[in-house]
Structure 1
Amino acid sequence: MYLNKEESFEMLFEKLDSLEVDLNEDITELFNILDDKSDWAFMIKATAYIELVLTNAITKQLSEDTMLAVVKHLPLINKNTGKVAIARNLGLLDKTHVSFIQEVASIRNEYAHNFEYVAMTLSEYFKKLEPNKANIKYRSMCIDNTGEPYRQLLESRPQLAIILGILFVSMRVKSALMTSEVKSELERLEMKTLRDLVGKIA
């Protein structure tokens, strides 16, 4: 690969700075919803945030602003046509992130469609699960493979555990987008460098 090192490093640093700004914005937004007094409202907002991250990433990856109108109306979870499936097929998510999102969406749906959950805390929600179902949920939500420490965090501070999981998802999606952009930009810089070399030789 023939590249101008200075231009390449400048581009990489710009992308990393942009990623840092994006992640700081995510942290600010997500910790703002952590203040919710109602876990019911928290689950609705947390799932909506995941959906926003995926919608923006898919439309950006497809490089089509016109796709936004289509993508934003897709369901979050659907085996073939949901945002999670599309993001997975585009390489924006891996299996661990998909499992986490599916569990968050499942909890959100239980909260949204059962009036008795309105006053129920997430801690109460996890305590009322039968042991086998609880173990499956904990394993599916353990996004960073820490196992028991994450399970303890889910039991003691479920909102914080979910926020951290969403941050992992967002970081993964934005890193995958950045990697794709860097690859395209490096290819563009390589062509520019080759043209410059050919111009000097000719």
Structure 2
Amino acid sequence: MTTAIVILQIGILGSVIGWEWWTRRAWNAAVVEDTRTHAEPIEEKIDSYRRQHAVRLLEKLPALSHLDGDGMRFVAMPSFGTSEYALAVSHSPKASVANGILIVTDKSAERKADRVRRFQMPLRDYQAFVGRLDRLTDDWPGDMDDPCVDGSPTAFERIRIRRVTSGIGNCAPHYAELRLMVLREVRRFAPGPDLPTEDDWHRFDADDR
């Protein structure tokens, strides 16, 4: 009788452990799938606040269809600090420069007005920038974005004629590299006192440090 009870307990314990392992594996696969580069624009999902918020910020920018078939859109949504950022850059055929727009949204309840700044990038710099972007993001298979509660959730969309790629993530090194790559170009071509003070797109005023 005792042996049967022990066998039953072992069986129950094994089932619980197996179920937890399977659930964790499925959850990990879903996270990797969510963060990989997709061949479509960013999609909003009811069960994902991060995606919903990214879509709201992307809607502040020119639509993908208005980027002349060669451009990118990007948003950074830092968990802390004072601001969130939306950026679009595009190049028209035969133009000698690429045109950009940076929108800074204040997260303060008292100050909700967006600050909009337009800028230009020389064609050579733009082509080098999007070339690095494409090499980093094309066919990227995704990664675990956990554990990460805060950070700077990031989303991008890239259009090349009829081809659209996109991705969204937070703490994976891939997205940290993407954030820094974009920020370096923003600091070069769209400088201003409202830019992030940190390389992960967080902005802190002097009295917030």
Under a length normalisation based on structure 1, what TM-score does the superposition of the two structures give? 0.30
Of Structure 1 and Structure 2, the greater helix share is in 1
Of Structure 1 and Structure 2, the greater strand share is in 2
Rg larger in structure: 2
Greater relative contact order (CA < 8 Å, ≥ 6 in sequence)? 1
